[in-house]
Amino acid sequence: MSNLVIEAWEKGVPHKGKVFAAVFPHSDDFSIACGGLMLKLIGEGYTGYFIRTTNDEMDSYDLTAGETVFRIEQETQQVAEFFGIQKVYDLNYKNHYLDHALLTEMRHRLITLFRFLKVDTVISFDPWGHYEENPDHYITAMAVEQACWMSGRQLDLPELKDMGLTPRFVTKRYYIARGPQESNRLIDISSVLDKKAAAIEMHKTPINNMWKELLAAGQGGKFEDKKDFVKKAMLESKPTLEGLKYYEKYRYIS
Amino acid sequence: MSNLVIEAWEKGVPHKGKVFAAVFPHSDDFSIACGGLMLKLIGEGYTGYFIRTTNDEMDSYDLTAGETVFRIEQETQQVAEFFGIQKVYDLNYKNHYLDHALLTEMRHRLITLFRFLKVDTVISFDPWGHYEENPDHYITAMAVEQACWMSGRQLDLPELKDMGLTPRFVTKRYYIARGPQESNRLIDISSVLDKKAAAIEMHKTPINNMWKELLAAGQGGKFEDKKDFVKKAMLESKPTLEGLKYYEKYRYIS
Amino acid sequence: MSNLVIEAWEKGVPHKGKVFAAVFPHSDDFSIACGGLMLKLIGEGYTGYFIRTTNDEMDSYDLTAGETVFRIEQETQQVAEFFGIQKVYDLNYKNHYLDHALLTEMRHRLITLFRFLKVDTVISFDPWGHYEENPDHYITAMAVEQACWMSGRQLDLPELKDMGLTPRFVTKRYYIARGPQESNRLIDISSVLDKKAAAIEMHKTPINNMWKELLAAGQGGKFEDKKDFVKKAMLESKPTLEGLKYYEKYRYIS
Amino acid sequence: MSNLVIEAWEKGVPHKGKVFAAVFPHSDDFSIACGGLMLKLIGEGYTGYFIRTTNDEMDSYDLTAGETVFRIEQETQQVAEFFGIQKVYDLNYKNHYLDHALLTEMRHRLITLFRFLKVDTVISFDPWGHYEENPDHYITAMAVEQACWMSGRQLDLPELKDMGLTPRFVTKRYYIARGPQESNRLIDISSVLDKKAAAIEMHKTPINNMWKELLAAGQGGKFEDKKDFVKKAMLESKPTLEGLKYYEKYRYIS
Amino acid sequence: MSNLVIEAWEKGVPHKGKVFAAVFPHSDDFSIACGGLMLKLIGEGYTGYFIRTTNDEMDSYDLTAGETVFRIEQETQQVAEFFGIQKVYDLNYKNHYLDHALLTEMRHRLITLFRFLKVDTVISFDPWGHYEENPDHYITAMAVEQACWMSGRQLDLPELKDMGLTPRFVTKRYYIARGPQESNRLIDISSVLDKKAAAIEMHKTPINNMWKELLAAGQGGKFEDKKDFVKKAMLESKPTLEGLKYYEKYRYIS
Amino acid sequence: MSNLVIEAWEKGVPHKGKVFAAVFPHSDDFSIACGGLMLKLIGEGYTGYFIRTTNDEMDSYDLTAGETVFRIEQETQQVAEFFGIQKVYDLNYKNHYLDHALLTEMRHRLITLFRFLKVDTVISFDPWGHYEENPDHYITAMAVEQACWMSGRQLDLPELKDMGLTPRFVTKRYYIARGPQESNRLIDISSVLDKKAAAIEMHKTPINNMWKELLAAGQGGKFEDKKDFVKKAMLESKPTLEGLKYYEKYRYIS
């Protein structure tokens, strides 16, 4: 018996006044991991923010690190506007170097932002997702998880109260994982599939990197072209779950 | 098919001469997490110790950090006496700041205590419990897990031998988790429910903090009063397991 | 030839509108290290703040850690009021545990406060003072030094701009050292000696600890009583410099 | 329904030209954890390397640390030759002190070796294996997991390209765990059981330590002698799985 | 009596075949700190390399971090070519985040490069320069100092020998400091003053940042224009030493 | 005018009952740095201990790391006996890997030993010695400096009191430096020169490493042989100070 609940798309803007923050280490994580959910939440009235924790410096195939950083910064901005995101905050930690020693400092930058933006809901990687091989993913996720509840405590960073940044819990969390996870929620994304595809394709630099790595590995033949690769590898959900062919799967905690 | 074993309450004092250490980050963790098990073990002859790893500095609603620390230190002492605990050791790390960089140093303080107190059994959080959002919990748990077996090795902290602190393995571990866990043992706590409730209520400062946070979140209506909140939120086990309504659930490793 | 300049006591309130932050790890550091300078600056129109980085948990002789923390928190508040300090911010890091791994996180809390309080001037320990044996001293000093100039940079913690916390350099620094230092400035404190003495005596808990350690070391005979100890050990400057008998000596950087 | 696949022993040397690296913290981990798999891979044409991350300093019962380090270094060399391993690389981190702060530095030593040796396949502990109590195990595993894919990226350690160490992904991973794991592959080791037993017995120092700890714990009676202990505790797999009595169980990722 | 030696400009190319590495955290450090010395060494036959440890992300006034990184990466390349530098290696650590925890990993990247490039001489900041307020400076300097001699040891990173990267000491070190330093060597740079000035002006982004900060602080009036600012603040040495008006001052260790 | 005091050799055993600990990272540091002072103190009645913080793993020219560790462990034991040292404690941290993150854990092992051995006096490197290029030296020195006074405080590691390890200050410190230092004390070692020379020669492995490095650098010609190298490079003090030709120079703090 499945524990999976399909979250209904709501009519009107029932969440008007609510705020979400999507917090991910990399530019393309936003769109690939939760493009559908963001479109749903914004459609239902949410104001959304992107908080990107790394500078994506490693994510190109034949550019310098500097050009990579600049291009992806711009692409992120463009994708965010395309999604209707209010603002992007780039924390710009060095890509692939997120580690456990950064957790407290990163958490405190997040708490400051969560209190300022009055965040109700976060979307991030699952800090408990197994076989996640990129430390940028689980370190970001751990910092987010800590920040969500400490943000509401009276004595964490108490000096911020004087600046009008009052304690406030982030009460809803959507966690996504690339490997095994104790999932409990599905978002049917079939109605926004094209928009999500278009967003992913706007991440030219990282998509190009993946594509060239595929070609270098001699596996380009699996796909017709880069567009087909995006479609098959990033949009088609496997396996079909609860009758849904296109979905995003989360651990939802409220 | 369940892997859960219900641990029988033994007659007499079969464990006389044995020693347990309950190692938790926070004052109220002791009572809430394992009040029942501690009463059982002490009843069966164990001598028990509390090792509190943090100073609980963050756990009040409208007190200063200093008053919080002092009050909770005193409440911890009172609760420990109420349970019949032999002594409380306060390691006093800064609350909410336990992190991976502290593991080795904290482990070595624990090894020193385990050898000195001749600990046979520990009770602590499960270092592998999923969706545990408080780093104080899993860092304490990781340090405990490491200390239990390194404590018995000849060449870990070998200088302690000269001080009469000889190597000795901690052979029994009860791990408790707030989220999903691979549990294998239940303790029926119905016979000590009132005493556990009374102990929890003695943690005035943290209970008051939880209660005021609930009120601030507009969720006070779920409970009649603070006493009812303790009863419903901290004593009634959900779901009923193996026919037990009041239980504590552990991963037991021997 | 001496590089030492004696800083003149100015008439009136020429520094009205200016703000200083005294940033020290311990409660008694404030008064002992720079009580005279603070009185001078406040007298000349400055608004002053105390930022205390540790919780002073280790600084008593026969109290528990919890009572120590609470008492010193209160004494700090009382001394601050006695000096005419506007507000005390307690960062409450664990006493004696300040280490290099905390530098970035502590620096960012300081930058946030410096921007918010619009700090012009800091008083702290000298990060380059030799033979300083307490890590709390030099770690605090290093964090302060970094925060002073990064606080003015456009791209350090850029998200704070949205909260009205705009970049602003701290342009004046008074560094004090307990050992050898490349000093360049003296403050004649003879006119405020009694007030400084009274302030130091208000730090009952740490002064009591020093005194009892002296007695335990069999060195109490050097002084008539505790009051005499404060006077001789903390107020009389040795050697006489530039003709001054009572002074505070700084490395001043502008 | 089981997800376990039994990996067939292949005829001839189909993997000629391929390279594996077994990366483990301790000398005896190599043989105990994956002796069977290494014999299979070498038999099928692989060239194999051992990368030992710690110096095994803690793993004796009544030797000094220095003699322990030297003996185990030599035993490791002998076992490696017995298995037909090409070369042993000793990273020699302090035993039991592997921690999260070492991850990036250790990863970079591994990336350098993986690129140089042109590693196709790694065998290591499972970074997600639950209830693994030795930090040396999971820290090594995390560093290996990160190194496998970062090793193939163009902008990780880009300076190595000038030294002829070009990016190259490690595409196959066998992860072994001592506790619960999401396993998917079994290796039938019955045909190499005697050779694996002989290899394990060559680890005289650590085996002797385990045996003496058993005797000290009064549990020697479970086994006839040390040889019987190796057989029962390290070779007989429990429970029988997919009809196999002697197997090694992995999480295989390709 | 001065310990300062004026290093003579040698005729011909007496150092042909020798290699230096200038290792600095920031792009403009290279030119400002040691432009003269680099021109001298290259003129005397040395092959020179730049190793830039940070990504300079913080060093602009009104650009995004991404554009800053890219621009400065390009400017660095241009300045290096202008100086006749063989190649620039960008380690790209996050600007202002260099800290003590990175020392070992950074050192090992440097050792690998020093062995590969067969570096004889390094130019860097003085790890013992007092009142240096930028941690990027002293952390880089500490890593360089460690790398210089460990690079020559047989058992540091011994696996590199198999890659042809044999141990080799870096025997000459020029250390520069922005504050007090135990200096012992002067380089007369009057003959290359114009070239050094031109190089500094090529660092448009950081120079622009300094200039705008000056204007914002209301101190622009001290200089005619940006060019004059470069000349007065970065080229004119104060005080005149050993009769030299334009010099670079070092701690030279051989 | 010199601040240097020549410490007189005392008659009889005036320090009977007193205890010193020489705390150094490496085996040969003991003899080379302070062989003379140790002989003096032992001669005057002191009981002495060696605390060696690293495992000296890197200090050979053509041995494996394992053999190096074992040989130097044995040589250290032999030299200690030759000096009349009571016992050697090997902390065995990985050679060349001492870093700032280890400070607290190492300090606590030292505090435990200082309290147990009732240490009055320490001899170690100067934590403030400039141009010391080996991090093992200054990290050990910083840990020692912290341990000396925290060892006497009531609330540092308070749990040790229950084990009879009562607080006790280490009141005398001799700091030695390889570079510039604010020295204040000389020990005339002419009377024990031969014994110190003999001790140094017993460190066969490290001396051999230095000698072979010299030969490899083509500088063997400066000395007749290895014995002559020890004499000229390690025993003859330069320059002559206060009329002494053979001395050890310290910063003495009491």
pLDDT of B164-203, one tens digit each? 999 999 999 999 998 888 899 999 999 999 999 999 999 9
**What per-residue confidence (pLDDT) applies to C237?**
82
- Please tell me which of the candidates F65, F90, F97 has its beta carbon nearest to residue D90: F65
Across B127-132, average pLDDT: 91
The answer to whether the CB atoms of B155 and D100 lie below 8 A apart is no
Beta-carbon separation of F94 and D67 below 8 A: no
Measure the CA–CA gap between E66 and E43, rounded to whole angstroms. Answer: 36
| Cα–Cα distance measured from residue F30 to residue F245, given in angstroms and rounded to the nearest whole number | 21
CB E173 within 8 A of CB E23: no
Average pLDDT for A213-223: 91
Q: Per-residue pLDDT averaged across A167-189, rounded?
A: 93
Q: Smallest CA–CA separation between C31 and chain A, in Å?
A: 23
So what's the pLDDT on residue A2?
64
Report yes or no: F159 and F210 within 8 Å, Cβ to Cβ. no
CB contact under 8 A, D156 and A58: yes
> What is the number of alpha carbons within 13 Å of residue B47 lying toward its C-beta?
11
Q: pLDDT tens for residues F168-192? A: 999 999 999 988 888 999 999 999 9
Two tokens at A14? 């029932």
B86, B142 Cβ separation under 8 angstroms: no
pLDDT at A1: 44
F2 pLDDT above the threshold of 70: no
| pLDDT band at residue B236 using 50, 70 and 90 as cut-offs | confident
**For E134, nearest residue in chain C (alpha carbons):** C146
Q: How far is F6 from chain B (nearest CA, A)?
A: 36
Q: Does B135 touch chain D (CB under 8 A)?
A: no
CB contacts, 8 Å: A58 with chain D: 153-156
How distant, in Å, are the alpha carbons of A206, C194, E162, F192, F252 from that of F35? 61, 51, 39, 9, 16
- List the alpha helices (DSSP H) in A118-203: 135-150, 193-202
How far apart are alpha carbons E38 and C130 in whole angstroms?
33
Contacts of A76 (CB under 8 A, 6+ apart): A27, A30, A50, A52, A56, A88, A90
- Sort out which chain D residues have CB atoms less than 8 A from A62's CB and list them: 154
Give the whole-angstrom CA distance, residue F55 versus residue F33.
18
The CB density around residue F228, as the number of other CB atoms within 10 Å, is 11
Q: Where are the alpha helices (DSSP H) in chain A?
A: 27-43, 65-83, 103-117, 135-150, 193-202, 204-216, 226-230
Average pLDDT of span C52-73: 97
User: Is pLDDT at C1 greater than 60 in this prediction?
Assistant: no
Q: Would you place residue D178 in the very low, low, confident or very high pLDDT band (cuts 50, 70, 90)?
A: confident
3-state secondary structure of B213: helix
Strand spans (E) along chain D: 5-6, 19-24, 47-54, 87-93, 121-125, 172-176, 185-188, 247-253
pLDDT tens digit sequence for D55-75: 999 999 999 999 999 999 999
Give the torsion sign (CA, C30, C34, C36, C39): negative
Residues paired with D49 in a beta bridge:
D21, D87
User: Across chain A, what does the average pLDDT equal?
Assistant: 95
Q: Return d(Cα F34, Cα F28) in angstroms, integer.
A: 10
pLDDT in tens, C177-204: 988 888 999 999 999 999 999 999 999 9
Q: Are B62 and B33 in contact, with CB atoms under 8 Å apart?
A: no
Please, are residues F98 and F136 in contact by the beta-carbon 8 Å criterion? yes
Whether E146 and chain C come into contact, CB under 8 Å, resolves to no
| Confidence at residue A191, expressed as pLDDT on a 0 to 100 scale | 95
Interchain proximity C112–A116, CB inside 8 Å: no
State mean pLDDT over C112-123: 98
* Residue partners of A1: CB distance under 8 A and separation at least 6: none
DSSP state of B234: I
| β-sheet with A47-54: strand ranges across | A5-6, A185-188, A247-253, A172-176, A121-125, A19-24, A47-54, A87-93
The secondary structure of residue E193, as a DSSP letter, is H
Q: Does the distance separating the beta carbons of A142 and B135 come in below 8 Å?
A: yes
pLDDT for position E1: 44
- What is the SS3 assignment for B151? coil
Do F160 and B89 lie within an 8 Å CB cutoff? no
Q: Is it the case that residue A165 has pLDDT exceeding 80?
A: yes
pLDDT tens per residue across span A64-101 = 999 999 999 999 999 999 999 999 999 999 999 999 99
Residue with tokens 């702290």: C124
Residue of F nearest to C95 (CA): F156
With CB atoms and an 8 Å threshold, state whether A68 touches D155: yes
Residue B2, pLDDT score: 65
Nearest to B232 by CA among B211, B204, B209, B203: B211
**According to the model, what pLDDT value does residue E181 have?**
86
Please tell me which residue of chain F has the smallest CA distance to B103: F105
- Taking residues B58-86, report their average pLDDT: 97
**F240: how many CB neighbours lie within 10 A of its CB?**
11
Q: What is the share, in percent, of chain A residues with pLDDT greater than 70?
A: 99
List of chain A residues whose C-beta atoms are within 8 Å of the C-beta of residue D155:
57-60, 65, 68
Q: Whole-angstrom distance between the N-terminal and C-terminal Cα of chain D? A: 22
ipTM score assigned to the predicted complex: 0.94
Interior/surface letters E11-24, b for 16+ CB within 10 angstroms, e for the rest:
eeeebeebbbbbbb
Asked if the Cβ–Cβ distance from E92 to A97 is below 8 Å, we say no
Structure-block tokens of residue F69: 């560790």
User: Closest by alpha carbon to C61, among B35, A220, F158?
Assistant: F158
pLDDT in tens, F86-103: 999 999 999 999 999 999
Quick check: D251 pLDDT over 60?
yes
pLDDT tens-digit readout, F214-225: 999 999 889 999
Q: How confident is the model at residue F163 (pLDDT cuts 50, 70, 90)?
A: very high
Which residues in chain B are contacts of D62 at CB distance < 8 A? 154
**Residues of C with CB below 8 A from E217's CB?**
169
pLDDT digits (tens, 9 = 90+) for D76-107: 999 999 999 999 999 999 999 999 999 999 99
The gap from C-alpha E254 to its chain's centroid, in whole angstroms, comes to 18
Whole-angstrom distance, CA of residue C109 vs CA of residue C56: 19
The predicted-structure confidence for F36-61, as pLDDT tens digits, reads as follows: 999 999 999 999 999 999 999 999 99
Q: Is E162 on the interface with D (CB under 8 A)?
A: yes
| Residue whose token pair is 């998200």 | C159
Say what the pLDDT of residue D120 is: 98
Sign of the C-alpha dihedral, residues A146, A152, A154, A160?
positive
Q: Name the band, by pLDDT with cuts 50, 70 and 90, for residue E8.
A: very high
CA nearest F71 in D: which residue? D66
- Give the closest residue to B139 by CA, choosing from B119, B168, B110, B174: B110
In the predicted structure, residue F148 carries a pLDDT above the cut 90: yes
Element (DSSP H or E) covering residue C38: helix C27-43
Chain C's closest residue to B90, CA to CA, is C65
CB C95 within 8 A of CB C136: yes
Note whether A92 contacts E: Cβ–Cβ < 8 A.
Answer: yes
Find the closest chain D residue to A95 by CA distance: D156
pLDDT score for B106: 98
Cβ-Cβ contacts under 8 Å for F172 (sequence gap 6 or more): F120, F121, F122, F252, F253, F254
Whether the predicted pLDDT of F1 surpasses 80: no
Helix axes A27-43, A193-202, angle to 10 degrees: 150
Is D60–B154 a contact, with Cβ atoms under 8 angstroms apart? yes
pLDDT value of position D2:
64
